[in-house]
Chains A and B, each alone.
Chain A
Amino acid sequence: MTEQTKSRQPVRVFLVDDHSMFRAGVRAELDTITDDIEVIGEAGTVGEAVAGIGHLKPDVVLLDVHMPDGGGAEVLRQSRKATPDVVFLALSVSDAAEDVIAVIRAGARGYVTKTISSQELAKAVVRVADGDAVFSPRLAGFVLDAFADRPGAAPISDPELDLLTPRERDVLRLLARGYAYKEIAAELFISVKTVETHVSSVLRKTQLSNRYELSRWASDRRLV
């Protein structure tokens, strides 16, 4: 990254997780490994989170998928209207596709598992703060699966939203194989910027597509 990223203000992060132990861990890790990120607040319940986000207006919210009272999706629903500029990154141990797809469709800009290393997490935070989408391999797999054309899949009502382009599929496959953006760019002979564009486009489709398959698939299939 260049001069610009180094000299700019640190990314202001708000933590939402109902386990205080986990919040403390993430806060300590992010504080020690990088100066680009500043944890400005945390919340343990949906209500606290909505109030805190509205009050502090952070750049990025790290959002637990599973919480009592509706979980991350509920926080998103309640916060998105009042603070549309705040970016959400889902952080969870949940591998249930329905939960992951639900927070993405509620407006999260990405999903990473809690097993992610601190460096990777810091990178992901900076990336979503810059407006990019963050797809962990698992999320890439879920999305590929959701858009797959298998027998019984829902009819396509809006090709713009309901189909992935071959290029987007390629990018997602490489993401699912554990490739970093730079590696994907090198593999497909495109620029990193183009990779980012493809990923953002896939995110948009995942959020907006009305394909029945997305919801049905997510509810009747839970990947291990």
Chain B
Amino acid sequence: MWPWLARVSILGVEAQILEEVDADQQRAQSNTVAVPDPVRLYRRRSGRAVAGVAGGVADHLGVDVLWVRIAFALLASLGGAGVLAYGLLWIFAPQQPDDARSISTRERQQAYGLIALGAGLTVGAGTLSGVVSGWVAGGLGVALVGAAVVWREADQSQRRRAKGALLGAGGRPALVRVLTGAALVITGIVLFLVSSIGLNQVQFTLLAVLAALIGVGVLTVPWWLKLVRDLGEERRARIRTEERAEIAAHLHDSVLQTLALIQKQAEAPREVLRLARGQERQLRSWLYGPSGYGRAVDGLAHGTLSDAVARAAGEVEDTFAIKVSHVVVGDCELDERLVAVVMAAREAMVNAAKHAGVAEVSVYAEVEPEKVTVFVRDRGNGFDPDTVPDDRHGLADSIRGRMERNGGEIRLRTAPGDGTEVQLNMPRAKVTT
């Protein structure tokens, strides 16, 4: 993305930062790209007979598509429930963003056979049960077929658009299909009206107006839906753009500035290391931290022990240009005692940074139900505790005093040449319920 940055990466350390950024981008992208949600029901885009509803339901339920089609056909006999269900699913289930599936001639014939059967059952059952007269059912049936033709055409034009072709590039055949569909709907409505010719003038007019309105509504359903979906799509795109701009701004203010500084300071490895570590930490807390980008949604874990330890380690790293690697197991909210533990641990880190003469200090904190334990360890010079002059307050006051005042204890393991390990134990405050 920024090829010129590659040049400075030769220093090695900040290559990690770049990588971390890359990883985050990948993560961000994988979040934003329209990945089909496996839980959601999608209509098949290709390999379909009518609208891909049956195929989508079959994919969703993990059964063979033939059974789903048979089920729809049989349901159609129950007062047209199957047809209604199919229509509703058509409207509300979105098309799969992308799939490549072929449909065999035999399967297509089967599907068409079942459609005919379903239609026959609907009309037949409707007429036999006397719920609707033959005329009405016929009219409605013709109108429905017309609507299906028009809707299918709308699906097709959406598909062509997804493939990158020009909008509505279906040509004359598409136009013919749409007009045929519209004609069928109108015919259906007329048939329906003819069947109810026995009504008086006012009723007939009302019915005609109503039927015409419904006809227009049915015909334009795909376009309304498209409008609504496009609006949602546009909003998501805008949010994505804004988010991207925010990330770019943040990276510019932090990472790019640091890299510029690093280029200037290339002669001073210690300074470069300090800058790189500091920037790495900042970026990490931005990506994964409690108020950071990665966790912005839940926003939990404010003022916890792990954050406090990470902050303390970071401060020591910044001040003394050493590496403080910290591992925290478990976590809990800070209270007065735990603040004291963190302060004491920080002091121990500072001591290690000042006196041990090593480039790395390890910090390990573990939260258990009854107590919190922190270890600060270096593999440096070590010392003989008995020879520490009395006027050195660091260990005595800042660590031991602080721990003991709060009911904790400290254990020290050190010997000249053998490194130093400070262990801090603090019982946790009883949870008052």
A and B part of one assembly: yes
Interface residues of A (CB under 8 A from B): 18-19, 21-22, 25, 66, 68, 93-96, 114-115, 137-138, 140-141, 144-145, 148, 150, 173, 176-178, 222-224
* 26 A/B residue pairs, CB under 8 Å, sorted by A: A21-B9, A21-B15, A22-B19, A66-B19, A93-B16, A93-B19, A94-B20, A95-B284, A96-B288, A137-B327, A137-B362, A137-B364, A141-B329, A141-B364, A148-B329, A150-B330, A150-B369, A173-B366, A176-B329, A177-B375, A177-B377, A177-B421, A178-B377, A222-B295, A223-B328, A224-B306
B310 at interface (Cβ–Cβ under 8 A)? yes
Residues from chain B with Cβ under 8 Å of A138 in the complex: 325, 327
Beyond A222-B294, A222-B295, A224-B285, whether A115 also contacts B16 by CB under 8 A is yes
| A22-B15, A176-B364 given; 8 more Cβ-contact pairs under 8 Å | A19-B22, A66-B19, A94-B23, A145-B330, A148-B330, A173-B366, A177-B327, A178-B325
> How many chain B residues touch the partner (CB < 8 A)?
34
Bound form: Cα–Cα A112–B323 in Å = 16
Bound form: Cα–Cα A223–B289 in Å = 8
B12 at interface (Cβ–Cβ under 8 A)? yes
Q: Are B366 and A144 in contact (CB under 8 A)?
A: yes
Residues from chain A with Cβ under 8 Å of B323 in the complex: 115
5 closest residue pairs by CB, A with B:
A178-B362, A141-B327, A66-B23, A177-B364, A93-B16
Bound form: Cα–Cα A222–B330 in Å = 12
Interface residues of B (CB under 8 A from A): 6, 9-10, 12, 15-16, 18-20, 22-23, 26, 284-285, 288-289, 294-295, 306-307, 310, 323, 325, 327-330, 362, 364, 366, 369, 375, 377, 421
CB of A119 to closest CB in B, whole Å: 13
Interface of A is mostly: loop
Beyond A25-B12, A178-B362, whether A222 also contacts B288 by CB under 8 A is yes
Bound form: Cα–Cα A144–B364 in Å = 12
Q: Are A68 and B330 in contact (CB under 8 A)?
A: no
CB of A60 to closest CB in B, whole Å: 21
CB of A30 to closest CB in B, whole Å: 14
Residues from chain A with Cβ under 8 Å of B375 in the complex: 177
Bound form: Cα–Cα A222–B284 in Å = 11
Residues from chain B with Cβ under 8 Å of A178 in the complex: 325, 362, 364, 377
Kindly identify which residue among B12, B16, B18, B364 contacts A173, using a CB–CB cutoff of 8 Å.
B364
Kindly identify which residue among B9, B23, B362 contacts A177, using a CB–CB cutoff of 8 Å.
B362
Residues from chain A with Cβ under 8 Å of B328 in the complex: 141, 223
